[in-house]
Every structure is written in structure tokens, then in C-alpha cells.
Amino acid sequence: MQSISVYDSLTGQKVPFKPIKEGFLSMYVCGPTVYSYVHLGNLRTFLSFDIVYRYFLHLGYKVRYVRNITDVGHLEDDADFGEDKISKKARIESLEPMEIAQKYTNDFHDMLKKINNLPPSIEPTATGHILEQIEIIEDLIQKGFAYQTNGSVYFDVKKYNQTEDYGILSGRNIEELLNHSRDLEGQSEKRNPQDFALWKKASPSHIMRWNSPFGVGFPGWHLECTVMSTKYLGETFDIHGGGMDLKFPHHECEIAQGKAAYGKKPVNYWLHANMLTLNGKKMSKSTGNTILPMELFSGDNAFFEKPISPEVLRFFMLQAHYRSVLDLSNDAILAAEKGFEKLKAAYFWLLESSQAEKQSSIDIHSWKQKCYQAMNDDFNTPILISHLFEGVKYIDGLKSNKQTLSQEDLILFQETFKEPSNRENFASGLAYLKSQPRAICSPPPKQFP
Amino acid sequence: MQSISVYDSLTGQKVPFKPIKEGFLSMYVCGPTVYSYVHLGNLRTFLSFDIVYRYFLHLGYKVRYVRNITDVGHLEDDADFGEDKISKKARIESLEPMEIAQKYTNDFHDMLKKINNLPPSIEPTATGHILEQIEIIEDLIQKGFAYQTNGSVYFDVKKYNQTEDYGILSGRNIEELLNHSRDLEGQSEKRNPQDFALWKKASPSHIMRWNSPFGVGFPGWHLECTVMSTKYLGETFDIHGGGMDLKFPHHECEIAQGKAAYGKKPVNYWLHANMLTLNGKKMSKSTGNTILPMELFSGDNAFFEKPISPEVLRFFMLQAHYRSVLDLSNDAILAAEKGFEKLKAAYFWLLESSQAEKQSSIDIHSWKQKCYQAMNDDFNTPILISHLFEGVKYIDGLKSNKQTLSQEDLILFQETFKEPSNRENFASGLAYLKSQPRAICSPPPKQFP
């Protein structure tokens, strides 16, 4: 069994990964709030955890990978203020909120499939777990960590912090938070400004609402992840992933909720994927410095000189480590395309090759081990890719007869490079670099239009 | 506006369709129980309602089409006996039940996409509406139509039948039902054998369970459809669809639940799609006379001499009216393929044609009207297809210069045949006959492998 190191955001250190149960991995990743088309930054995050998922599968782990769909409760402002994102969009588009959620869930699935992400083992929805959310709120109230006020329920951060450490993940100091909190409408019903909503009273105009012992309302955003992760993975599980921007307050709140409800830390390793920028700047709708995945793929945009295929985007993203900021630009992605074509050409040549000699002039075993070492080192895909390009040099050497491989080594070289032939076997080989599924059920387009 | 007639299973008559709200259609279709790969007969049912959906969209209706996913509560035996289908499969496959539901939901979506069905507006899950199911049960108990016994809750059919008509849809007589009911384990807790479960007590081994005022358990299968249809479409909605096999008891129970809870009939028009047989016999796992969609598409089966493409399957199915039994066989589908190729070739020739004359020798307006008449007559796709083949004859006449069309008529002819160029516009033209989406987001494979 390979031994993997992961960078744990909570301790800020790279540590050896040890699963709760040998040979099993439990992983939860925060999914999208489905009120608009998925943006490229999100795609990068989900791709990062697709790599983690596939690598563990490849190593023979039995993996339960849970990634949720937030279809209610995510307010416009993290401070429990403003309108529910999906309800607002429903009002603007004159649709039932669940039509909005469905439309953008479909887009999300289409785009992830396009860049060849595997679907998670379970993809639960927030609205699908209202009962469980109500039950944990009742429990938190009973334990003194939550209080009702004016039809809403808040988590009492100060109370929690008396015995536990709120800020442990994000490194924030609760005193500092108190000083920096804004005075917003509706915040006055909280005991302290850093308290966060577990249940929000629904205003008469709010279309997404459920009955509860606390009154008619809807659950808070942070709570759903605690409920769904523990329901399907247990009170403590191996890996929790998400975008860097979710560290605070979202993941901080998850830790507090889990600890308060179950008396134990919910997660053994916190992994956070970094940002994607566009032409050196943060992507943002308000500045116009933004592009949708489908605009990138179709070429219908002002940033790129030609359409970019999903497999090139995937390869481009994997050229950076998931914890580094990655900048997307015309030049960078065209360079990635060139590199990817070169890699593919060499790879296809290799697969067809039967050019075996008595002796090997290349040490394929050691090359293979270096590939695994890269992945074992916190899923370092850029280093892995550099080894694959070293492999391309070997292939060039074989082509020009300057290098030789024995029959056995040739097969090992091919197998290591090899793509899987069907969905069941998907995670084998180094195929997590390749885009487009090859399953019987989902034949890839021959060429992207 | 075209005037549509539909065959209403409840009255057993073809009647003019009148929507509740002019220009709007509310439609609910019973979706799959996701405990195994979707079978071909189900595909036919969902395709039938895809046609209904697309035709109303094509006519400019604003449609809310709700199709559920049954991820809990469907017992092996319709008489509320036996194990939950998903829990049982989870036990066999050693997975969490929601992993089973996810796996087969993914397959279901893949297969529907393959045969170019549009996704519904909302696709709710049974587990996503536990709270709503509990609330309606409380209401039914309060109204005297349901009773608790031994941790389960049953609908009191005899009580309901005192004032209403149980059997109205299926034409069954309640006395007859009483005489034909079997004596099964666990049935004794019912007041009458025809009573059906609204809530079932979970045995200790049952993995899917929720807390409720009635005890720990899970909702009955029939109830979810009442809850989800009325939640998203209102207490009475336009069309309820499903497979013929769901008429009794499932749809009969839905009528009883809706009437008992809301005091009005839940559905204005009941539409039922007929069976698909294989080589003249009912498909059945136990006799081996069965084939999965993916086996048909891949050619990996003992029934067909070559792989059948999803678009040919779609075309084949539309050659029969949705209310007729359709038999799938090697000869029949090869004949369909031949016809489809002929139709496509003519269609592509027509799209490219600019061969306009001063006068038309063909009455395109009347041909177009006949196409619409076919669809208006209870979505009669085989008649529509026969008109399209009449169109092919016209095209042959144009090719050989035996027929002529004016510029205006040529454009009308092309437009009527034309396929849409993107997803938004998907329902226009006669494109519902064509398989494979052409959306930017989902480019079709050039060729099926």
C-alpha cells in the first residue's frame, strides 16, 4: 500500500494520511449552491477532489465520497443576512425555486461530466434532509449551544468557545471577530454578532419554507453539511474538502456544530483547493473579468482566441498543484494544449508499440515509483505531469532507437500510462489526467464542436 | 392555438384537453424506483411523456413537468409486504442505500439523455420529502381516513369508500378486492386487506429510517407521489402520467389520498403508456426474456444481430402509439433503422435544397396541418411518422424534378422538418423525433461505438 501525505489545513502541516478504517476512505466535499451556472473556479475545486477520489480508488481503497447540492439556505450574505440565493433567482426568473435548483443542478452535472469527473457515491440535497436538520437543532438547543429568538435559531458561538475553540480552522480570534462585526438588519436578534443561523424564520414572501418546532422557516447553510456528512459518513470521517473560500465561516461552523452535537471532532483531515484567477485577476461578475465553462468550450468569449476543449482545461488545471493559485490566460492554456497534444501523441505511439529488446536502457520501475511518489505527496499533479513528460522523452528515445526496453518493461510502461477501457475500471492507470469518459454508457464526442 | 385531444384513462374516453390555466401545463409522471438499471419498458414510458412534454412546449405552453425519483418506500410486494427494494439491494451490494439510489439514478439519467429525453422541470426525491409526507399522514389521521397500528399507519379504504369511490380509475370493485385479497404476514395489522401503508414501521434491520410522530419508520410508496405532485403543481393539476402497470394500486391510491386530504380530485387527465414486449413475450428477468438499454446499444446481447443506436430505438418506439403494446424484435428494429435512415437522408437533402420554382405542385400547408392533426389526436406519433414519409415522397419528387415548390413553400417545408439548433429551442420543429441533443453543453457523439 502506498503511503500518502496530505496537507491538513487545520494543523497547517503536511501529515501522513491514516484512514479511520484500513482500506476505506470517507470523504465529504461541499458542493455547489445551484442558483447559477457553475463557474470555472468551482470546476477547479471539484476537479481537485476528483483527483483525490480517483487516486484512492486507484490504490484499491473502498471510497464513500459524498458531495452535497445546496438547494436551500445559502443567503446572499454570510452573516445570515439577505435573501436566500435560490429563492431570489426564482423570483427573478419567475420559476418555482426547485425549477431553479433543477436547472442549475443539470448544468453542474453536464459540466463535471464534460471535464470527466466521476460522480460522487452519494449526492444528497439540503432540502432532502430538513427533518435531520430540525433534529440536530433540537439537540443543540437542549445541550445549550443554540437558542431560539423571534422564530429563528442561532448557534451560540460564545458559549461554545467557553469549552471549545471557535476559530481553530481559520485561525481567527473570537475577540477580533467581535470587534470587526458589522451592524446589520436582523442581526440584533443574535446574542452576539458571530452567532450563526441554524434555522431562519421565513418571511411571508419567502417561497422555500418548512414547518418546524421553531416555526415556519428554512435551515441555515452551515448546518446541512454537518447533517449530510455525519448521516452518510459517521460522526468523525477522514477527509473534508472544499474551496479555500469556505474555510471561514462555513467550515469553522461545521467544526463547531459537529463538536457541540457529537462531542468529537468531525473531520480528521481538512483539504482546501485554491483559487482560479483570470488574466491575473480575481474572477468577478461585477468587473466583467469572468467566463463560464460553456463559453470557454464554445469559444464564445472575449478572452480566448479559440475554443478550449474540456480535456485541455482538465489538463491545464492539473498542471498546478491544487493548493496553489492558478491563473488562466490565453497563452497559458494554449501552451497547455500544445503540451497535452505532445503527451497524447507519445502515449498513443507507446500503446501501439511492440518494439521489445533483450535489455532495457531505461529504468521504468524507478520512473513508475516517481509517478506514485508525486501523487503520494499531497496529490502533486504538476510533478506527476513532469514525470509523464520524462516518459515522453523515453518514448522519443524508443522511436529513434536510442533507447531500448525489454518486453516486460515495455508492458509495465504501457500499463502505467494506460487509460481504462470502461467506467468500472475508471480509476486505474494514470487516466485521471485524461478527459472524457470511455464508458459504454457515455461515449465521448469524437471532437468538440 | 392547436386543440388537443387526450385519452383519459379514468373516463376511458378521448376528450378535449383544457388546461387549468390557459397557456400553462402542469404534468406529473411517476419516475423510477432506483434499485436497478432502468429497463427498456421504463424507457418507453418516459419517452412517451417526453413527447407530451415537448409537444406542449412546441405549442408555446409554459410547462412544469415534475417526475420523481423513488429512493425509498417501494416494497417488493404491492400489498405492503416484503423488503424495501433499495434497502434490499444495498444489503446485497454491501452499500449504503443512498449509494444504490445514486448509482441507479445516474444510470437512469445517462440512458434518458442517450435517447434524447429532456430533463423534467423538477425531479424531486421521496427521501427529500419525508417531512411533507409525515404532515399529510397527520392530516389524514385527523380526518379519519388513516389509522395507526403497531408503529405503522394505514389508509382506511373502506372508510374512504363510504363517501368516495375507491376503484374509480382501475374499474375495480372494492367487494371483489376483499374477496381476492391474500393473507400475508404483517397484513393482519390492517383493518382490511385493501388498506395501504402510509407509514411503515422500520424493523431493526431496516437501514432507511426516520423519526416520526408514529415511530421510527419510512413512508409508503403511494404517498410520495401525492406529496410531490401537489407540492409543486397544486392540489389539482392537469396531467398525471405513468406506465399502465401503475394504474392499480399506485394511481388508485394517489386519487384516494388526494381526495381524502384536499377534498378534490387531484388530476384532470390520467395518461397511461403501454407495455414493451420482447419477441412477443413480456420482458422478465426470471425467464431471461429481457435486455438492458446498454446491452441493446453496445450489441452485447443474444437478441439482436447488431448494436442498435439510441436514435433508432427512439424512432422505433415512436412508430407505435403510446397506448398500444409495442413488440421489440430484431426484424422490427432493423426495419425501423432502414426507415429512419431514409427519413434522415431525405431530411438532410431538403435542408440543403434551394430549388424553388414559381409554383408549388404540392400543398405543403395541408401536409403541415395533417402533421399537427396527428399530434393533436392524443399524440399519435405513428400517424405523424406516416406523414413524414409522405414528405419523403415529396422530397423524392423534388429531387427528380417531378414536383415543384415555391420559395415560400420550400421554407415552410424545411421549417416544419427542421431540427432545433440549441437546447433552449429544443422543442421546436418536428425534432422530437430526432435523438441526441445538439446543445452547446452536450455535443452528441459523432458515431455510436
pLDDT tens profile B34-63: 999 999 999 999 999 999 999 998 888 999
How many residues does the structure list for chain A? 449
> What per-residue confidence (pLDDT) applies to B204?
81
| Domain stops at, among B273, B304, B319 | B273
> What per-residue confidence (pLDDT) applies to B205?
77
Q: Which of A119, A131, A135 sits opposite B106 (nearest CB)?
A: A119
- Put simply, the answer to whether A446 touches B444 (Cβ < 8 Å) is no
What are the two backbone dihedrals, phi and then psi, of residue A428, each rounded to the nearest 5 degrees? -80, 170
- Given a contact cutoff of 8 angstroms between Cβ atoms, the answer to whether A382 and A320 are in contact is yes
Nearest to A83 by CA among A181, A208, A182, A170: A208
My answer on whether B314 and B410 are in the same domain is yes
Question: How far apart are the C-alpha atoms of B273 and B49, rounded to whole Å?
Answer: 8
How distant is the Cα of B372 from the closest Cα of chain A, in angstroms? 29
How distant is the Cα of A446 from the closest Cα of chain B, in angstroms? 6
Q: Across-strand partners of A194?
A: none
My answer on whether B286 and B266 are in the same domain is no
Question: How far apart are the C-alpha atoms of A433 and A374, rounded to whole Å?
Answer: 14
CA A253 remoteness from chain centre:
18
Shortest CA distance from B445: residue in chain A:
A445
Range of the domain at B425: 277-433
- Given a contact cutoff of 8 angstroms between Cβ atoms, the answer to whether B141 and B240 are in contact is no
My answer on whether A406 and A294 are in the same domain is yes
- Put simply, the answer to whether A294 touches B124 (Cβ < 8 Å) is no
Residue located via cell numbers 435517447:
B115
My answer on whether B211 and B324 are in the same domain is no
Q: Quick check: is A44 in a domain? A: yes
Instruction: Name the CA dihedral angle for A328, A332, A334, A340, rounded to a multiple of 10 degrees.
Output: -100
My answer on whether B152 and B253 are in the same domain is yes
> Predicted ipTM?
0.86
- Put simply, the answer to whether A128 touches B123 (Cβ < 8 Å) is no
How does residue B285 score in pLDDT terms, banded at 50, 70 and 90? confident
Q: Quick check: is B218 in a domain? A: yes
- Put simply, the answer to whether A297 touches B111 (Cβ < 8 Å) is no
Nearest to B444 by CA among A447, A103, A313: A447
Q: What is the DSSP letter of A244?
A: G
For B104-150, the pLDDT digits (tens) are: 999 999 999 999 999 999 999 999 999 999 999 999 999 999 999 99
- Given a contact cutoff of 8 angstroms between Cβ atoms, the answer to whether A333 and A315 are in contact is no
Strands B237-243 and B75-77: unpaired
Burial class (CB in 10 A: 0-12, 13-18, 19+), B248: middle
Q: Quick check: is B439 in a domain? A: no
Measured from the Cβ of residue A236, the count of other Cβ atoms closer than 10 Å reads 16
For B240-250, the pLDDT digits (tens) are: 999 999 999 99
My answer on whether B176 and B320 are in the same domain is no
Shortest CA distance from B98: residue in chain A:
A122
Shortest CA distance from B107: residue in chain A:
A441
Share of chain B above pLDDT 70, in %: 90
SS3 of A14, please? strand
Question: How far apart are the C-alpha atoms of A24 and A21, rounded to whole Å?
Answer: 5
- Put simply, the answer to whether A441 touches B111 (Cβ < 8 Å) is yes
> What per-residue confidence (pLDDT) applies to A358?
94
My answer on whether A266 and A289 are in the same domain is no
For B264-282, the pLDDT digits (tens) are: 999 999 999 999 999 999 9
Average pLDDT over residues B313-330: 97
Question: How far apart are the C-alpha atoms of A381 and A303, rounded to whole Å?
Answer: 26
Q: Quick check: is B342 in a domain? A: yes
> Based on C-alpha coordinates, what's the Rg of chain A?
24
Q: What is the largest CA-CA distance in chain B?
A: 81
Question: How far apart are the C-alpha atoms of B126 and B98, rounded to whole Å?
Answer: 12
User: At CA A345, angle to CA A344 and CA A349, rounded to 5?
Assistant: 115
Average pLDDT over residues B306-321: 95
> Which helix (H) or strand (E) covers residue B196, if one does?
strand B196-201
CATH number of the domain to which A376 belongs = 1.10.730
Q: Quick check: is B329 in a domain? A: yes
- Put simply, the answer to whether A448 touches B443 (Cβ < 8 Å) is yes
**b/e string for B279-308 if b means 16 or more Cβ within 10 A?**
eeeebeeeeeebbbbbbbbbeeeebbeeeb
> Which helix (H) or strand (E) covers residue B102, if one does?
helix B97-114
My answer on whether B290 and B248 are in the same domain is no
Burial class (CB in 10 A: 0-12, 13-18, 19+), A366: exposed
> Looking at beta carbons, which residues of chain A come within 8 Å of B230?
none
CA distances from B39 to A211, B110, B175 (A): 38, 13, 35
- Put simply, the answer to whether B124 touches A98 (Cβ < 8 Å) is yes
pLDDT at B21 over 60: yes
> What per-residue confidence (pLDDT) applies to B314?
94
- Given a contact cutoff of 8 angstroms between Cβ atoms, the answer to whether B196 and B249 are in contact is yes
Give the DSSP per-residue string, B289-349: B---HHHHHH--SSS-SS---HHHHHHHHHTS-TTS-EEE-HHHHHHHHHHHHHHHHHHHH
- Put simply, the answer to whether A131 touches B96 (Cβ < 8 Å) is no
> What per-residue confidence (pLDDT) applies to A184?
54
Q: What string of pLDDT tens digits covers the 449 residues of chain A?
A: 789 999 999 999 999 999 999 999 999 999 999 999 999 999 999 999 999 999 998 888 999 999 999 999 888 776 677 788 888 888 777 788 999 999 999 999 999 999 999 999 999 999 999 999 999 999 999 999 999 999 999 999 999 999 999 999 999 888 777 666 555 555 579 999 899 999 999 988 788 999 999 999 999 999 999 999 999 999 999 999 999 999 999 999 999 999 999 999 999 999 999 999 999 999 998 999 999 999 999 999 999 999 999 999 999 999 999 999 999 999 999 999 999 999 989 988 998 999 899 999 999 999 999 999 999 999 999 999 999 999 999 999 999 999 999 999 999 999 888 754 333 333 333 344 443 332 222 222 222 22
> What per-residue confidence (pLDDT) applies to B142?
98
Q: Quick check: is A447 in a domain? A: no
> What per-residue confidence (pLDDT) applies to A91?
78
Q: Quick check: is B11 in a domain? A: no
Count up the domains in chain A and report the number: 2
Residue A25 — left, alpha, or beta (φ > 0 → left; ψ -120 to 50 → alpha)? Answer: beta
> What per-residue confidence (pLDDT) applies to A385?
93
pLDDT at B427 over 50: no
> What per-residue confidence (pLDDT) applies to B83?
80
My answer on whether A129 and A68 are in the same domain is yes
> Looking at beta carbons, which residues of chain A come within 8 Å of B442?
110
Shortest CA distance from B111: residue in chain A:
A441
| Domain stops at, among B226, B251, B273 | B273
Q: What is the DSSP letter of B247?
A: I
Strands A152-155 and A146-149: antiparallel
> What per-residue confidence (pLDDT) applies to A178?
66
Residue A249, preceding peptide bond in cis (omega within 30° of 0): yes
Amino acid A435 reads S
> What per-residue confidence (pLDDT) applies to B426?
31
C-alpha cell at position A270: 481538512
Q: Quick check: is A4 in a domain? A: no
> What per-residue confidence (pLDDT) applies to B255?
98
C-alpha cell at position A319: 498542471
Give the DSSP per-residue string, A375-393: HHBT--HHHHHHHHHHHHH
My answer on whether B126 and B268 are in the same domain is yes
CATH number of the domain to which A71 belongs = 3.40.50.620
My answer on whether A283 and A264 are in the same domain is no
- Given a contact cutoff of 8 angstroms between Cβ atoms, the answer to whether B125 and B69 are in contact is yes
My answer on whether A179 and A304 are in the same domain is no
- Put simply, the answer to whether A211 touches B135 (Cβ < 8 Å) is yes
Q: Which of A102, A114, A131 sits opposite B121 (nearest CB)?
A: A102
Rounded to 5, what percent of chain B is helix, strand, coil? 45, 15, 40
> Looking at beta carbons, which residues of chain B come within 8 Å of A449?
440, 443
Give the DSSP per-residue string, B139-166: HHHHTTSEEEETTEEEE-HHHHHHHS-T
Shortest CA distance from B127: residue in chain A:
A128
> What per-residue confidence (pLDDT) applies to A294?
95
Interface of B with A (CB under 8 A): 64, 96, 98-99, 102, 106-107, 109-111, 114, 119-125, 127-128, 130-131, 134-135, 210-211, 232, 294, 297-298, 440-449
Interface of A with B (CB under 8 A): 64, 96, 98-99, 102, 106-107, 109-111, 114, 119-125, 127-128, 130-131, 134-135, 210-211, 232, 294, 297-298, 440-449
Amino acid B14 reads K
